[in-house]
Structure 1
Amino acid sequence: MNALKLAGKVQRIIDRHIRKKGYEVEVILETPKEGMINRPKFSLEDDGTDDDGNPIQMHQASIKVVITGHKIDEDATPIGDNPVKLLDFIVIDDTELPQASQVEEGRFLVYNGERYNIILVSPASLAGILIIKECQARSVK
């Protein structure tokens, strides 16, 4: 069996065992406007405005993800205060979505009424076909 056929079989298995059984949940993906993605978002100087003093506008899109884990990092800072919630999730093949609706590092996810900054996106592909993206996000206040 060649890799292309195997990729097709893996996609069908994911469709049958994850999508059709309802494991995906709907979340909101927030994408900052162009040019703000790699800005240092959590510095003391960041007041939520762009360089002109206008509030940063976010593009919001509803996407489906599969939540795979929740963690709390109790010692998030050297002095041990301010625990941080970590959210692990996967996204199943989002290449057909518009660029602003694709999961990438530096974007925000709203899940269960909480905002998370996406800090890790690790795509898994087979024969050049994207199968899933394994992701991790960190809570923001």
Structure 2
Amino acid sequence: YTGPGSKTIVPNEARAKMDFRLPPNLNPQDAMKKLRAHLDKHGFEHIEIKFEASAEPPYKISIKEPMAQAIIKAATQIFGQPPIVNGVSAEGTILKHVWIPCVLTGFASPGANLHAPDENISIEHYIRGIKYAAL
């Protein structure tokens, strides 16, 4: 119950949806085993885990790859500092089977609230992003 006033009912179930971004050398099945062990250790043996088969194994390329170096150089030139480097999404998992390095990049500022209801970007940062993409 989320309306006004008080409500003293304890719900009969709770649900949580989790999205794991795995580091290299940790596959989805191992992550689920570790989650199960953690829950069990802390008294939550009764919690049911539904594991989706759509999970992808981790993917990583070297920061020394020419493609990665070009992006770091361009970002540093336009934004005045090197970018924050982190993982990629499913594209990398697909391309690793044909040995093609994959780099995804964006140009949002730290305060842009990515993927949130109030996601935003300033016009100045947007123009810098266009210049960055052109390099």
Q: TM-score range by the shorter chain?
A: under 0.3
Task: Compare CA radii of gyration and give the structure with the larger one.
Answer: 2
Of Structure 1 and Structure 2, the greater helix share is in 2
The TM-score normalised by the length of structure 1 is 0.22
The structure where strand makes up a greater share of residues is: 1
Between the two structures, name the one with larger relative contact order (CA 8 Å, sep ≥ 6): 1
TM-score by length of 2: 0.23
